[in-house]
Amino acid sequence: MSFKSQIQGLFRRILGVSEGTPPEKLIEPQKPVFKDEFSKDEPSEIEEIHSIWDFLVLRENTQAFHLTQVIGFDEWVEMEEIRRRILELFGIHYKNERSLYPHLKTLSDLGLFETTDTGGKRKWRKKVLLVRLRKKKTKKEQVEEAIEESRTPEGQGTS
């Protein structure tokens, strides 16, 4: 008896599967992990979508601040272009690009930047990170909404 067949037998005993069960029957369909939250119409909640970049506050005149200001979401930017943009926007000339690499690496490791290595040159861009915020409507907002709906004359829809 080979090692592979021993492992298969062990898993069959653990899962309670007989020898002749086809592989399609072994996989049970799972319930969806994410619910379709847009199909729910809950009037008592307000949902807002924001970018993480709206909340990040970096200390001004630091290398990380300069990098986040000159690198955008749309295009991949090389190191030479990053240095040129920093010089143009902030008037700071980084003589040695090695001083920017640790900051780019840290921002990439945090998941804030994306990195690609094409043609022997590294390029970076910001990652779009969205956050869904929910908050309960206050009683005042609910009353104002109800008043606004009652002011709308019924029967006067699009004709």
Mean pLDDT over each residue of the chain, to the nearest integer: 79
Residue in the block written with tokens 């749309």 = 74
Query: Which of 14-18, 51-55, 133-137 has the lowest average pLDDT?
Result: 14-18
CA 97, CA 91: separation in Å to the nearest integer?
15
Residue 44 is assigned to a structural domain of this protein: no
Residue 26 domain flag: no
Nearest to 70 by CA among 91, 52, 50, 42: 91
Q: Strand pairing partners for 133?
A: 48
Region class of 119: left (phi > 0), else alpha (psi between -120 and 50), else beta: left
Write the pLDDT tens digit of every residue in 45-69: 777 888 888 888 999 999 999 999 9
pLDDT at 44: 63
Residue 135 lies in a domain: no
Q: What is the C-alpha separation between 116 and 122, in angstroms, rounded?
A: 6
Examine the pLDDT at 36 and tell me if it is beyond 60: no
Helix (H, G, I), strand (E, B) or coil at 95: coil
Query: Above pLDDT 90, what percent of the chain?
Result: 37
**Would 116 be classed as within a structural domain?**
yes
The whole domain housing 91 covers: 51-126
* pLDDT tens track for 82-131: 999 999 999 999 887 788 999 999 999 999 999 999 888 999 999 999 88
Question: Is 108 a domain residue?
Answer: yes
> What is the domain-level CATH number for residue 61?
1.10.10.10
Confirm whether 153 is domain-assigned. no
In a domain, 104, yes or no: yes
pLDDT score of 11: 63
Look at residue 4 and tell me if it is in a domain. no
CB atoms within 10 A of CB 64: 17
**Which residues have C-beta within 8 Å of that of residue 55, sequence separation ≥ 6?**
131
C-alpha 111, offset from chain centre: 9
Quote the number of domains for the chain.
1
